[in-house]
Structures are given as structure tokens and as C-alpha cells.
Structure 1
Amino acid sequence: MATDVNRRTFVAGTAGAAATAYALGGPITAFAAKTKQDKKRPKAAGYGPLRPTPEQDSGKVYLQLPVGFKYRLINRAGAPMRNGLPTPGIFDGMGAYAGPGGTTVLIRNHENRSRTGEVTVPVPTGKRYDPDVAVRGGNTKLVVSKDRRLESVFPVLGGTHTNCAGGETPWGTWITCEEIFNYGSAENNVAPGTGVPHGYCFEIDAAANGPVTPQPILDAGRFSHEAVAWLKGSLYETEDRGDACFYRFIPEREPKEAGDLATFGGTLWALAVKGRPNLNGNTANPGETYPVEWVRIEEPNPLDDTVRKEAQSKGAMVFDRTEGIWTAGNSVYFDCTTGGDARLGQLWQYTPKGQWGGELKLIYESTDLQDLENPDNLVIVPDTGDVFLQEDSSNEQYVRGVTKNGLIYDFAKAVLNTTEFCGGCFSPDGKTFFLNQQGDRLALGETETSQPDSKAGLTFAIWGGFDGRDEKAL
């Protein structure tokens, strides 16, 4: 997400806590042990070999999937929204919620970066966070019917910048994160024009029927946010930087509805390892566990990009691009997209012990492109407890699954559109896997409406026998 070519996205999945805890008690830990012992890890049969699979309505082959799986293209960049305007592009993080009448609601990020030609997320002037018209990011809401067809799509947040990933909350909201630190459309930290600061998290009620009033969660920090996850009174936050830290925001009171996080106030903290100030995560070994403490950030809302500098001046641990994050049971799991000796990615587990302590464990580190390349988004398959990994590869794009026994398999491969997979999440009943392809940024003279499917942002609904996976090794 720090660059246009090698973006890494995360959005928390919507599998139940029990299924998530089951999955993460087995597959990732086993995967780490197996790859540590065997340089060439075996693969699982999974759902079977991938085959070119035609889209249900058009017959176009966008994806390769296993036999028995179907999919529908439910939305593309440039398609008319409810207001008649074109759907903005640069799809990214996404969350799924139960809607009225058996529908599924999707809240989707648009990672516009004030680049020429971008289609804005259009909201009324009075509902924009930043009046600078070059700030075109935000979120759209999709309502999907029981038969997996789009009923409606419309903007719900506008005037924000570089809306990358985010996370769901237990009270039915989506928190969208700005992966930038700037003022308006500036490419530096000097305030031009409106001078509106960016680098915040914003909350969107999944039940909203139109644009919400944007409220930055100031006390949760101003920095290059990536994703968030809620666990037992704390909002854990990742930061997409090469010298990133890992944070948590503790609100003064337990939130119950949209807006509470922005109005209750609270404190921001950064993770540190006891007795090892500024430990570099790239030097850790899989299986190592570290005792944790938290250092307080006195200035969470700075004029300059100094949050991680303050954290590290107090001994905070340094990571290589903390990105995807989710909770399972009593733990928080997050990855470092370019972490480790080979810069191919790491997966970490933080388990709190009381309010101020806890343990940090490096569960897995990739050393081989064939095993895992720069993992980002991770989603739990409710029927099996498998983990679906969405790699952001410079080559072919895959969704890969990991079983509870630590075997990996391919679930989906991009065919027509080779832009990255992102925004994967399961419907509340666990039967539909929603998945984005981000789409390319517009070329000179191109518009969202003229951009072909091979380059446009796409949102799919995928369904089939998610409980029919074969776990045996190949």
C-alpha cells in the first residue's frame, strides 16, 4: 500500500470468533513448524485443481477456481451508482455485514491518492471531510441480494485520502484507515490550501443509507494507518512503513455505536519488548516469544509525522510494514508484508496478559517465494477453519488456503484482470466469499467508464462447497 505497484491490503474477515480461534490454533502454527523443518513444504489437495471458470452472467473467464465453485461479478468501477454517477475505482479493504431481508452489506474502501484522473467518491459538500476537491478517497456501500446480485451501491464517506484497509467492530461499524500523513492533496507535510490534516481513522455505520458525517478518531493517532482490529476494550492498529510500530488505542469508555470512538477520548500506546528496547522484528526467529509492555504516546495527533518517532524514542519495537490484522479468541494476529531476512513476510501473534502485559510471538516467516510471497489480507473460512491468504504478487495473483495441519493450496487465480486481490471477506452466513481486484489507476485520457474489465476495479461474489475441502497432502 506504500506504492502503486506493490500494495498490500487487509480487511478483517467476518467469520465467527469460534471458527477463527479454531483455525488459528492450528494452521498457522503448524505451517510455521513445517516450513521451519522442511525447506520444501508439501501442498494440500484443497478443493482440487484450478480450472478456467466462466462468470455466471457474462461467460467471461475472470478467475480460475476449483470444480464446484461459481462466481458473479457484482460491481465494477465505472458502473452507475444509485445517484447515477460512476462507481469510483481503486477498490481496497472491505467488510461484510448482515443487512435487512437477508441481504449482505459490504462497506468498501477506495484508495484514491489525489492522482490526476481519479474518480472521486462523491458526497455533498457539507458531508466531505476535506473540501479540497483533489482529495477523492472514501467509501461506498454495496447491498447484495440473497441470490448474490447487486441491489444498490452508493457513497457513504468522502473527502478522505488513501483509504486503504480498516476493520470491523462488534457494534456493526467499519473503521476505514487513511494510509497517509499529509494536508489535503499535498505530497509533503506542508499545509497548502485548506490545510486539513490527514492520517486518521474514520468510523462508518454499516446501516447508513447515505453519506455519514466524517469524524476523525483523533486520539487513536495520526500516522500512516493500515488496518485495525478490536479486542477486549482496545483498538489495535498497524502502520504501513518500513520502520513501523504496533499500536493500541484504549478509549475512555466502551463504545456501543458509531461515533463513540471519536467522542469518548482515550490514550494511544506502542508495543515494546521488555528489556530489549527497539528490538527489530526482522531479527526474530519463528517460534520465539517475547514479553511485552506498552509505552504511552503523549502526542498522538502531531503536526508532523512523529508518532512512531516518539514511540521508538521510548523503546518501541520496530517492524517492517505492519499491515493486515485480525482477532481470534484472546489474541491479535498481524503480518509484516516485507518482514524477515528474505523480506517475504512474517506473521505475529500478540496475546494480552492483563491490561498492560502480554506475549508477542513470531509464528511464521517466509523464506521462499514458492511458499509465501508478501502476505497481506487473511480471511478465515468458516466451514473449515482454513486461512485464505491473499498475496499481492508482482507476478500472478492467487488466493491461497492453509489447512489446520499446515498444508497450503491454491483456491483462486486471476485470469482476465491481473491487478491485486484485496478486500476478501465472508458473508455473515459464511457461504459467500466476497473478493475485490483493485484495478489499475487511470491512464492518460482514460475514464472509469471506458476502462476495460481487464484493468477496472472488480468485486466478485464466490460460492460453492467451502466445507468440501480435502486436507490430504499431495
Structure 2
Amino acid sequence: MSATRRQILARTGALGASLAFSGSLGAVFAGTATARGMGRRGYGPLVPDPDGLLDLPEGFRYRVLSREGEPLRSGEGRVPGNCDGMAAFPAPGRRGGTCLVRNHENRTGSRSAVPRVRELTYDPGGEGGCTALELDRDNTVRSERVAIAGTSTNCAGGPTPWHTWLTCEETEFRAGDENYTKDHGFIFEVDPYDPRRTGAVPLTAMGRFQHEAIAVDPGTGTVYETEDAFEKPFGLFYRFLPDKPLGGRGSLRAGGRLQALRVPGVPDLSTVQAPGTVFDHVSWVDVPDPLARTTPIRFQDFGTGGITHAQKLEGCYWGGSCVHFVSSFAHRSAGSAADHYGQVWRYDPRRRRLTLVVVFGPDTDLQLPGESPDNICLAPSGGLMVCEDGDGAQHVFGLTRGGEVYPMARGRQNIGTPQKPEWGEFAGVTFAPDHRTMYVNCYRPGTTFAVTGPWHH
């Protein structure tokens, strides 16, 4: 969650318009469902919500599942704020329903910390963590509790094939910094059904750095990781080769090898501007010190040939037989070698091939909707849902496989003043396993919505 502008979508009208990009969107959506409704241009204009919370297209409705400051149903404290990345899992048993795991990107001094719960707290000085909700088929909340506490700056993450959540700390705080008693910058595994089965154990072999998101290769168990470093040298793209691949809950604790991507002759991915550019036989280099005991990983010596960096490495997801990752933007003024308004890369592990799939901008209109997209998820219709994180009105936008952008939701909770209104960004968009409900967070004030309606399938 950076305040820096991340302009990817552009030229969007009230009902959707062409995206300013070059490249192949088909590759972005590789592996998504083929849907009868994928060619449609969205769901129509947004209808103002009389309750002033969430505007949706006609025929859609929302339910507020959870709000910052309300009592947790577990009695462990109050619902934390800064609601960020999230994933949905099938509820146990045959009754249907959904389990949600929700990140809280709290740092020291946050408004509403994750309550410290015994056996689930990593560091008493940490105020971040996750909460878990269990829902009935009709999205009635059956339970809400702390899933992990005492972490810091829990931004995004990703689900595993064995139905756990890997929550990522987007920080590099050390023990002794601020109020922290332990090092931070790790990934933690969270069991959405019974958090005590995973506890609060850092997966140290997966590296200590400013994590953003992960994606797991369901065939090999390899975990891909993005690093959203805020200053130059920028982040790296990693893979983790577990010693117990696809071993189920807790198997990642057994350790493994952390490696970083090296593209020969390309120290900065921003210099690659032509969609369709292919790098064959890219290499992976062992990280010298994954724990970054004395030197952050991106500063470490990777030997002859160096290593490949990129600004704002954020989204990461698996589609088809490849992993996709996003560089939200790159600016020379911030230290990048070149400018762009967003790249989507695809890595094919079988061919060891890296391809630049899409480049956005730079002829985008920064004043139009679609500013600063953040969290993304695959939609039932075969396209994407994208959370907006920028200035002015905040939206969830849909992106069809044909490249059409359309508004799906608009936040109406004013966190500013009547004279200078502000709206909290969206985060954590995800769909129920049966694709009948979209779940999404408002970051501030922390609010989790369930959205139902006539989804295209």
C-alpha cells in the first residue's frame, strides 16, 4: 500500500472503454475460465447507495460482514483496521459457505491493532496480522477471530494448494526498531480453519525482505515471491524451492532454497519496453543470505552478472502453466532506468522463458478513473477485478478479456471532510469458491463487503 501513484488502467468511461496498452491480454488471462459472458462490457452504470457505503450496478447488492472497531465475535477484542489482502476458501463440511482470511497492514502506532492472542502472537511489539471469518452459504458470519498477531505491515500474500494463506510482511524492521522485539520481513502460514495449527512461526527460509505477494506452482510446489522495495536498488523476483514440495500444511517450515531471477544483460526490467520480448533460458541465482542478517537481499553480492531488479513488483498469480507478476510502474525520477505505467510479465518454468506480455501507458490520462490499481484477482467471467488505490474516488474496476474496463464498485465512505472529501482505497478483492460472491475490503475505515448479483459465468 504505497501512496505513490500507480497508473495502469486508463481511458475508462462510465460504462467502460479501451485500455491504453500494448501486448496480449490473452496471455494475462491464461488459465482462466472460458465464460459465456466474457465478451460483455460490464454490468451497467453504478447506482448511488442510499446508505452511503458502496455504489454497485443495478441488480447487485452488498452485505457488510465486518467493520473496524466492532467487537470480534470471538471476544478476543475489536476488529482491526487497515484491511488489505484477502483470500477465500471453501468452508469445511458439506454445508457450503466460505472461510475468509484478511490481512491487516498495521505498523507501530496504528489506529486499531490486531489483538494479541496467546499462541498466535509472533512479536508483542507488532500490531499487524490476520483475522479469519467463517460464513454460511448466504454470507451470514458464523465466526470471526484472530488468525495471527504480532506481525507488521501485512500487505498481500497468496493461497496455497492445500488451502492455507501465506501472509507477507512488507517491511524490514529489525529487533530494537521502534517497539519490535524480533526481526520482521517474513512470510507466515495461516490456517483459515484452525489458526492454532499453524501458530505464529516465520518461514525464515523464504527470505526476509519487503514481501508483497506470492503464487504457488500447483504442479511442483515452487513458490514465487515479489518484493515491493520502496527505494533503489528496487526489488527482486524470487522463487522458493521447498525441501518438502506440496507437503501440505506446515511443510514449508522444512526449509528450502531461495533464489532470485537473473535476466542476462538486463539489470532493470523497466528498460524492456516492447511487448512480446522474450528471454530464453533465464537463470536463478541462490540468495547469499536469505535472512539478510547484515545486508538487505537486494543489496547483496550475487556474483558475476549481478541480478535483475524492478520497481514496484506487486501482483503475482498463477495462470495455466505459468506465473504472472506485475511491475506497477517505473519512474526515472525515483531511480528506475526507464519509465512505464505498468508491466505484466509471464514466466514459463518448463521452458525457463520470461516474456513481457503487456505494457501500459505512458499516454494515459492520469485524471481519469483507474488510477493506482493495487490488488487483483481472476474473475468468474475470465477477466480481472482490480482494486484502485489513489487520489479521488476509489473503485473496483473489471477488465474483460477483450480489454474493456468497467466500474464494478465505488466507495462512498468519506474519511475526509465535507469540504475536502477523501475515500478509502479498496483491497483484497477475491471470489467465493462457487463464484457467486465477490468479497472486497475498504482499507480505511476497515470494512469487508460481500457483493452478490447476476455475475457473468
**1:327-372, Cα deviation, whole Å (9 max, x unpaired):** 0011111111223655532222222235xx2223242323213485
In structure 1, the partner of 2:222 is 234
Distance in structure 2 (CA, Å) of the matches to 1:45 and 1:103: 29
> 1:371 and 1:79, CA in 2 relative to 1: closer, same or farther beyond 3 A?
closer
- SS of equivalent residue, structure 1 residue 182: coil
In structure 2, the partner of 1:18 is none
- SS of equivalent residue, structure 1 residue 435: strand
The 8 Å contact of residues 345 and 375 in structure 1, kept in 2 or not, is answered as no
Match of 1:297 among 287, 296, 317: 287
- SS of equivalent residue, structure 1 residue 206: coil
Aligned residue pair count: 406
**Greater share of residues in helix:** 1
The letter of the residue matching 1:288 is T
- SS of equivalent residue, structure 2 residue 48: strand
Pairwise mapping of residues 268-307 of structure 1 onto structure 2 (< 5 A)?
Answer: 268-274=258-264, 276-291=265-280, 292-307=282-297
1:151 aligns with 2:142: yes
1:181 aligns with 2:169: no
In structure 2, the partner of 1:394 is 391
Match of 2:451 among 441, 446, 462: 462
The 8 Å contact of residues 24 and 328 in structure 1, kept in 2 or not, is answered as no
In structure 2, the partner of 1:115 is 109
Alpha-carbon distance, 1:69 to partner: 0.8
1:408 aligns with 2:400: no
Pairwise mapping of residues 362-373 of structure 1 onto structure 2 (< 5 A)?
Answer: 362-367=357-362, 368=364, 369=366, 370=368, 372-373=370-371
- SS of equivalent residue, structure 2 residue 53: strand
The letter of the residue matching 2:453 is G
> 1:184 and 1:72, CA in 2 relative to 1: closer, same or farther beyond 3 A?
farther
The letter of the residue matching 1:325 is C
Give the aligned CA root-mean-square deviation in angstroms: 2.6
The letter of the residue matching 1:205 is D
The letter of the residue matching 1:399 is V
The 8 Å contact of residues 385 and 403 in structure 1, kept in 2 or not, is answered as yes
The 8 Å contact of residues 312 and 330 in structure 2, kept in 1 or not, is answered as yes
The letter of the residue matching 2:394 is Q
Distance in structure 2 (CA, Å) of the matches to 1:261 and 1:131: 24
1:351 aligns with 2:348: yes
Distance in structure 1 (CA, Å) of the matches to 2:345 and 2:180: 41
Distance in structure 1 (CA, Å) of the matches to 2:86 and 2:388: 16
In structure 1, the partner of 2:124 is 131
The 8 Å contact of residues 6 and 341 in structure 2, kept in 1 or not, is answered as no
Alpha-carbon distance, 1:463 to partner: 0.8
Output the TM-score relative to the length of structure 2.
Answer: 0.82
**1:57-94, Cα deviation, whole Å (9 max, x unpaired):** xxx13122111111111110111113332111111100
Structure 2 unmatched ranges of 5 or more: 8-23, 31-38, 332-337, 415-422
In structure 2, the partner of 1:430 is 435
Alpha-carbon distance, 1:285 to partner: 2.7
In structure 2, the partner of 1:451 is none
> 1:158 and 1:118, CA in 2 relative to 1: closer, same or farther beyond 3 A?
same
> 1:119 and 1:409, CA in 2 relative to 1: closer, same or farther beyond 3 A?
same
- SS of equivalent residue, structure 2 residue 300: helix
Alpha-carbon distance, 1:312 to partner: 6.0
> 1:137 and 1:371, CA in 2 relative to 1: closer, same or farther beyond 3 A?
closer
